[in-house]
Amino acid sequence: MRRPMTPGCGSSGPPRSLAAASAGACLAVLLAACGPPPAPRNPGSAAAPQPSASAGATSSGTADATAGGTAPASANGTALPPSTTAGVPPAEPAPSGTSPSRLPSPTASGWKTFTTSDRQLTFDHPGDWTIKDPTGKSPLGGEFVEVLNAAGKSMAVLETRIVTGSECVQKYPFAVLDSEPMTALAEKGVPDENAPRFMFETRGDASAPARTAETIAAYGITMIPEEVGTLACPIFLLFRWPPSGAMFGAGYDPANNTTPGEPALPYWEKAKLYVETGEYRNIRRMIASLRPAR
């Protein structure tokens, strides 16, 4: 059941109100829910979870894939040692109809496979990228890892046991830069329109020169159906994963995500150019490879 949520992440009354008991809360709802992004640990990690986070209450249930994206629940578990092995990743799924048509191939070679310490999730990553595990303390005992590229810049954060909820009370202009269904994470009995998908989308003012609280782009996994029309709810990076929800993604920041083109270009235009880069293709392939470990 959707319910009103009190503002979270230190906001004073965002368009999409949020409450969370997880360090991933500010990243789960990237647009307007957390105010202007603070200076990250690594340049431009886009409101990524901080190493220390306020603890929250434990509850039970499953993530709710309504349009508002409410996702209550959590549980405790016992972690096992992590595992990182070299290997060949599975074939990349064919992009959906909304995917860019001129994307370059991923530039990295020698991909490796990482498995979370609880042996629940696995994903592939470029061999010269590193996994910071854990990258901080998850209040509800979930996995909390960060992926850094060869230059040490944060490319994405994976966190599980996220408890968060939101209601869409304001919509914004948007653009879908990339979208791809993720069937490996789909749950039996869940309608196709609520199945997880990889996405790279923008919200806000297309002419804005820089990222703001209301103009932002983000890539990652969402359970919210692809938006239609001219206005959309805030970006919500969250998908169902027992016992509650999980997230794998990041906000786009041209200071962190290497982007070609003139520095004076509007933020949205930089995001569109970033889709054409090998770095983005590596991120896309990595996030889209997330799957159950068993």
Per DSSP, the three-state class of 294 is: coil
In whole angstroms, what is the distance from residue 8 CA to residue 186 CA? 29
What kind and span of H or E run contains 263? none
In whole angstroms, what is the distance from residue 213 CA to residue 104 CA? 31
Q: For residue 156, is it within any domain?
A: yes
In whole angstroms, what is the distance from residue 121 CA to residue 155 CA? 18
In whole angstroms, what is the distance from residue 202 CA to residue 251 CA? 10
Q: So what's the pLDDT on residue 56?
A: 32
Q: What is the mean pLDDT of residues 62-69?
A: 38
Domain containing 75 equals 18-91+98-292
Q: For residue 146, is it within any domain?
A: yes
Q: For residue 13, is it within any domain?
A: no
Cα distances (angstroms) measured from residue 215 to each of 8, 256, 263, 267:
19, 17, 17, 8
In whole angstroms, what is the distance from residue 196 CA to residue 185 CA? 6
In whole angstroms, what is the distance from residue 107 CA to residue 94 CA? 18
Q: So what's the pLDDT on residue 191?
A: 66
Q: For residue 272, is it within any domain?
A: yes
Joined tokens for residue 179: 């979208």
The string of pLDDT tens digits covering residues 135-171 is: 877 778 899 999 999 999 999 999 999 987 768 889 9
Q: What is the mean pLDDT of residues 202-229?
A: 96
Looking at 24-28, 29-33, 133-137, which range is the least confident one? 29-33
Q: Which of 100, 52, 110 is nearest to 274 (CA)?
A: 100
The string of pLDDT tens digits covering residues 92-126 is: 443 333 444 445 556 667 999 999 999 999 999 99
* Domains contained in the chain, number: 1
- Amino acid identity, position 174: F
Q: For residue 2, is it within any domain?
A: no
Q: What is the mean pLDDT of residues 269-289?
A: 98
Looking at 69-73, 184-188, 287-291, which range is the least confident one? 69-73
Q: For residue 136, is it within any domain?
A: yes
Q: For residue 45, is it within any domain?
A: yes
Q: For residue 204, is it within any domain?
A: yes
The per-residue pLDDT of the chain, averaged, comes to: 73
In whole angstroms, what is the distance from residue 8 CA to residue 16 CA? 10
pLDDT reading at 187 higher than 70: yes
Q: What is the mean pLDDT of residues 3-32?
A: 40
In whole angstroms, what is the distance from residue 222 CA to residue 34 CA? 18
Instruction: Give the pTM.
Output: 0.70
